[in-house]
Amino acid sequence: MDDGDHSSLSHVQQTTYTSDAKRRLVCLISSFPTRVFIISTRVFFNVDGPAVETPKPIPWNHWGPSNARIFEHHYSCKVHVCGNRVLQAFPVDTSTSSPNEYVLHMMDFSPLATTNRRGLGRVVKDTSTINYTGKFAESLTISTSLPYVEVVSDRKFSFDKLKAMWIDKDRIYLLNTNWTHRRMYTFAMKTR
């Protein structure tokens, strides 16, 4: 750590980052194949009074598509959520069942990020659709369209550097499993 890192660290310790509960994300992960559901919590705060008093199911097509995004992976994936941001590791080579190299995808689901991206990343507004066939259910098509800004890392990471990963307001943290070097890598990947 150099002197510049110390001064920025003390600045970070002075400012506390608290995301708005009404603008956070919920992440649900199912497996084989892996499906990652990202759901905006704003949908839970826009419920009418009578609906709260007498709860009844709200059909998916009334709330889901515009407040959710689904990602389907045919391999194990790594995901971390912080506030409005999602960090996912995608394999470079999807033709193998045991990928060795990954790239990081930072996705910012903040409404401000999609309108004020300032040339950083790519805005994704297209609808994502997956087809699901369960063991005991008929075929189901799920479409989602929650917009986001995506920034993809140029750098490739080997599997041993992705034992754990997480994000906060400004940084990405990667835990290295090569215990002879005992390092944790951090770097900034800004979408705003």
* pLDDT at residue 180 is higher than 70: no
Note the pLDDT of residue 137: 66
* pLDDT at residue 173 is higher than 70: yes
* pLDDT at residue 9 is higher than 50: no
Beta bridge pairs of residue 165 = 174
Q: How far apart are CA 65 and CA 127, in angstroms?
A: 8
Q: pTM of the entire structure?
A: 0.73
pLDDT band for position 47 (cuts 50, 70, 90): low
Distances (CA, A) of 18 to 30, 33, 55, 70, 92: 28, 34, 30, 26, 34
